[in-house]
Structure 1
Amino acid sequence: MDNIFGDAAERLFAQTCTADVIRRAEQGQRPAEAWQACEEAGFGDALVPQENGGAGLDLAEALPIVLAAGRHLCPYPVAHTLLARAWLCRAQRPQPTGSIALAPQGLALREGRLHGTNVPWVRTADYVLAEAGGQTWLLPTQAACIDPNGVHGNLAAEASWALADAESVENGAPLDVLAAAAYAGLIAGALERVLAMTLDYANQRSQFGKPIGRFQAVQQQISVMAEQVWAARMAAQLAFQGGEGQPAPLLAATGKARASQAAPLVADIAHAVHGAIGITEEYDLQLYTRRLREWRLAGGSETHWHERIGAHALSSGSDALSYLRGALQGKEAA
């Protein structure tokens, strides 16, 4: 699954999305230089067809970029951007210059303004592609009234826009599927990094004369972590299946549900192994576990997507095996 784009993204994000850059973004400093490097590398246009100036990748080929973004906690919405730009390309809308966050839920039209209670990435993104009032809107964050939501380090915030600043875009494809796929990939990448950090710590931290990673109880917990991490990675692979930059809806739902399910389990075990140091501001683990808990809920938690999948399965009239073999992917059972 790894490819030249994924390797390039890994190197770039390691250089530009350092812990210091992430902390400054959480404090309100936009990561302009980090985003510009990502833009110049072409990752935002990864799914845009070549005839429209993009790389023309399919979803599976673009997944390593999203995984790398999750591993390095990129403080701008690169995963959202590459999916949103492909969506806008299908809508025949010229590509905006800048990063784009997806907000399929949480916005409403009231008194001539678009209001969002917890708009994702709005503190660092250039645009928000949102659904509200039965329409899809492209919203420039420079024109937004933004109020912090009070959650420490959260890149989401309350925001509102005047309708004069909002551009309606017609496409028809729902944004929630795009957001589900994006968060599934980001979660999977971040979980891999949390597992690596926990393994390193367990092998370095000694107690009673030996590394704590040699204690059976710790090994058992880390094995549970590894199981969840690789389940999330496989879930992200499911989510990044589809055509023309549009994930298959039920596979994206399945991927996001499974990735969200893994996030709190891995975060809890990581903190249990690290102990008190894991929650300190100076230590990087808390950057990851806080974001994992946000991403678990963003775009719909596992409960939300399990309900969607269950309702579809019941309405399909198929038995469980036929549903898994065919209907889940929108195909007739063999």
Structure 2
Amino acid sequence: MFTEAIEAILQDQFTPAAIRAIEAGADPATAWNALADAGFLELLAAEDAGGAGLSLSDLFPIFVAIGHHAVPVPLAQSIAARALLARTGTAAPAGMITLAQSCRPEPDGTLVCAYTPFGAIADFTLAGTADGLLLLDCRAAERIGTGVHGSQSATLRWLPGHIATPLPGATSADVQAWGAALHAALIAGAAARVGAMTLQYCQDRSQFGKSIGKYQAIQHQLAVMTEHIAAATVAAELAFGTNGTQPQRLTAALAKARSSEAAQLVAASAHGLHGAIGVTEEYDLQLLTRRLHDWRTAHGSEACWSVQVGEALLASEAGTVEFVRKATRMEEQSGAW
């Protein structure tokens, strides 16, 4: 029910033209207010607190839909941030909240959150430290864009007087697990749409008197792309299969490692099969493939998370098969995980 309802709003508010406009600097307030007024920011909050009381497994298809529509506002991040803030007993502020993927104090007391997803437009950033969460007002920060076309990520810098006191109840590990899990789901949604667009193009495009999709070499590339999309989707779903409102670190690591690996391969295959039209500004494919590359590195790429999965395996007393069996059954791991 919730997925269908939010799909309707996303389809209405975030057309390709609207996405391009917001990326170019248009005010996203109208679209954002439509989501906020419908109550979609509190999907994980308990019903007696005015929320929908959804489980993480219920939330997964909604995050996939957000990726499918290339939503240019931090909707998934805001939902996660509100769940994290609830654990600290802090009311979430009105507006767009994003999750910082890093938080670094400098010698002069300046706080830096580098390459923050949606840092260019977010109202607030939730950053994790070992002592708790920092809720930071982006309007008091210096925003430094990435310089990448259409990117809404930015490095944020706060002077000492604008840094809040950490909120106990959650830590940087919780923020990173959420960031990995939600971006895995976004990648799964965007990759599925890229795959559908590519398949349709191959069916419509004719060469030498027949559809290029009928050539065996093209079919092979489509099949490999489909395999990666399916693997990314299954891996992402693992991260949302736990109880409560916090993804487990190991399943989040597995999800992000596999989905990030798939992101670059799906994007490359899509552009290869589309040919020259795929890289043009007017064609919608680039709205999705740019995000696949952006989301691949957000909160750690496959290189980052694969190392952490490997370290967890080496620290485990179980053999490889048993480790994989437990991990894919989403059983909580001991130790640092």
Give me the TM-score of the superposition, normalised by structure 1. Answer: 0.94
Task: Call closer, same or farther: CA 1:267–1:161 in 2, change over 3 Å.
Answer: same
1:186 — aligned with what? 186
Secondary structure of 1:117's counterpart equals: strand
Kindly indicate whether the alpha-carbon contact (under 8 Å) linking 1:106 and 1:118 is maintained by their aligned counterparts in 2: no
1:31 — aligned with what? 28
1:40 — aligned with what? 37
2:317 — aligned with what? 317
Of 82, 91, 94, the residue aligned with 1:97 is 94
Matched residue type, 2:212: I
Matched residue type, 1:170: P
Residue 295 of structure 2 corresponds to residue 298 of structure 1:
no
Task: Call closer, same or farther: CA 1:331–1:317 in 2, change over 3 Å.
Answer: same
- Consecutive unaligned residues in structure 2, runs of 5 or more: none
Q: Can you list the C-alpha shifts for 1:4-48, whole angstroms capped at 9, x where unaligned?
A: 111112111111111122112222223111111111222211111
Residue 285 of structure 2 corresponds to residue 288 of structure 1:
no
Residue 227 of structure 2 corresponds to residue 230 of structure 1:
no
Percent of residue pairs identical: 43
Matched residue type, 1:329: E
2:159 — aligned with what? 162
Superposed, 1:1-334 pairs within 5 Å as: 4-105=1-102, 107-131=104-128, 135-167=132-164, 168-173=166-171, 174-326=174-326, 329-330=331-332
Task: Call closer, same or farther: CA 1:183–1:148 in 2, change over 3 Å.
Answer: same
Secondary structure of 1:111's counterpart equals: coil
Matched residue type, 2:331: Q
**Whole-angstrom CA distance in 1 between matches of 2:331 and 2:251:** 7
Secondary structure of 1:76's counterpart equals: coil
- How far residue 281 of structure 1 moved from its aligned partner, in angstroms, is 0.7
Greater shift after overlay, 183-192 or 109-118?
A: 109-118
Task: Call closer, same or farther: CA 1:133–1:161 in 2, change over 3 Å.
Answer: farther
Q: Can you list the C-alpha shifts for 1:278-317, whole angstroms capped at 9, x where unaligned?
A: 0011111111111101110111111111111111111112
Matched residue type, 2:78: T
Secondary structure of 1:93's counterpart equals: coil
Matched residue type, 1:243: N
Matched residue type, 2:175: L
Matched residue type, 1:282: E
Kindly indicate whether the alpha-carbon contact (under 8 Å) linking 2:101 and 2:298 is maintained by their aligned counterparts in 1: no
**Whole-angstrom CA distance in 1 between matches of 2:293 and 2:7:** 23
**Whole-angstrom CA distance in 2 between matches of 1:186 and 1:162:** 32
**Whole-angstrom CA distance in 2 between matches of 1:124 and 1:73:** 16
**Whole-angstrom CA distance in 1 between matches of 2:187 and 2:321:** 28
**Whole-angstrom CA distance in 1 between matches of 2:57 and 2:95:** 24
Greater shift after overlay, 205-214 or 67-76?
A: 205-214
**Whole-angstrom CA distance in 2 between matches of 1:133 and 1:120:** 21
- Consecutive unaligned residues in structure 1, runs of 5 or more: none
**Whole-angstrom CA distance in 1 between matches of 2:31 and 2:134:** 26
Secondary structure of 1:287's counterpart equals: helix
Matched residue type, 2:157: S
Kindly indicate whether the alpha-carbon contact (under 8 Å) linking 1:30 and 1:123 is maintained by their aligned counterparts in 2: no
**Whole-angstrom CA distance in 1 between matches of 2:222 and 2:228:** 10
Matched residue type, 1:239: A
**Whole-angstrom CA distance in 1 between matches of 2:260 and 2:103:** 19
Task: Call closer, same or farther: CA 1:242–1:163 in 2, change over 3 Å.
Answer: farther
**Whole-angstrom CA distance in 2 between matches of 1:107 and 1:200:** 45
Greater shift after overlay, 116-125 or 259-268?
A: 116-125
**Whole-angstrom CA distance in 2 between matches of 1:274 and 1:110:** 49
Secondary structure of 1:312's counterpart equals: helix
Kindly indicate whether the alpha-carbon contact (under 8 Å) linking 2:101 and 2:114 is maintained by their aligned counterparts in 1: no
Q: Can you list the C-alpha shifts for 1:102-143, whole angstroms capped at 9, x where unaligned?
A: 113254344232123312111222211013585521112222
- How far residue 160 of structure 1 moved from its aligned partner, in angstroms, is 1.1
Kindly indicate whether the alpha-carbon contact (under 8 Å) linking 1:120 and 1:155 is maintained by their aligned counterparts in 2: yes
Greater shift after overlay, 133-142 or 273-282?
A: 133-142
Task: Call closer, same or farther: CA 1:107–1:119 in 2, change over 3 Å.
Answer: farther
Secondary structure of 1:243's counterpart equals: coil
